[in-house]
Amino acid sequence: MTLLELCVSVGILTVMSFFAAPSLIQARNNYQLDQVTRQVAANTQWTRVKAISRSRDCRVRIVSNTSYVMECLDPVWITDQTITLPSGYQISANASPNFHKRGNAVLAATLTISDSHGHFKQVVINITGRVRVQ
């Protein structure tokens, strides 16, 4: 391979990297948002399982736009775990997912997780207690 061929090859790779970098960055951001959302959904599902196994009401409550708590009623609300979202992510809710001892939810609720780029995903809890990611 001559020096000229090597320079052309490096030039082609540089141009390809230049055009591929934005899509790779966007894919990484989407993956991270999906990962944070699925973790929130898993914690919400775990709260439902705790409500069933402990035979008492449990809920997920938003404390701030970057953290939430999982707590159970015994006879007052006792915090089991406080979770803070990674830097750059925020959480909001239209209602607090509150699970009865049979696993059903008091109200349907939607938790919205957003990133610093304005993208968002939602964790939807219906009245039967089903937790899913949208």
Q: Where are the chain's structural domains?
A: 24-133
Fold of 24-133: minor pseudopilin epsh fold (3.55.40)
pTM here is 0.84
pLDDT at residue 47, as a whole number: 96
Measure CA of the first residue to CA of the last residue in the chain; give whole Å: 52
Cα separations in angstroms, 37 against 33, 99, 127: 6, 19, 20
- The phi, psi pair for 100, rounded to 5°, reads -80, 170
Reported as type and span, the H/E element at residue 107 is: none
- Give the SS3 label for residue 12: helix
Q: Identify how many contiguous H helices and E strands the chain contains and give both numbers.
A: 1, 8
Q: What is the pLDDT of residue 56?
A: 95
Residue 13: its pLDDT value, please? 85
89-93 and 109-115 as β-strands: parallel, antiparallel, unpaired?
antiparallel
Q: Left, alpha or beta for 55 (phi > 0: left; psi -120 to 50: alpha)?
A: left
Distance from C-alpha of 127 to C-alpha of 133, rounded to nearest angstrom:
15
Residue 122: predicted pLDDT: 97
Distance (Å, rounded) from C-alpha 95 to C-alpha 105?
11
pLDDT in tens, the chain (134 residues): 788 888 888 888 888 777 767 788 888 999 999 999 999 999 999 999 999 999 999 999 999 999 999 999 989 999 999 999 999 999 999 998 999 999 999 889 999 999 999 999 999 999 999 999 99
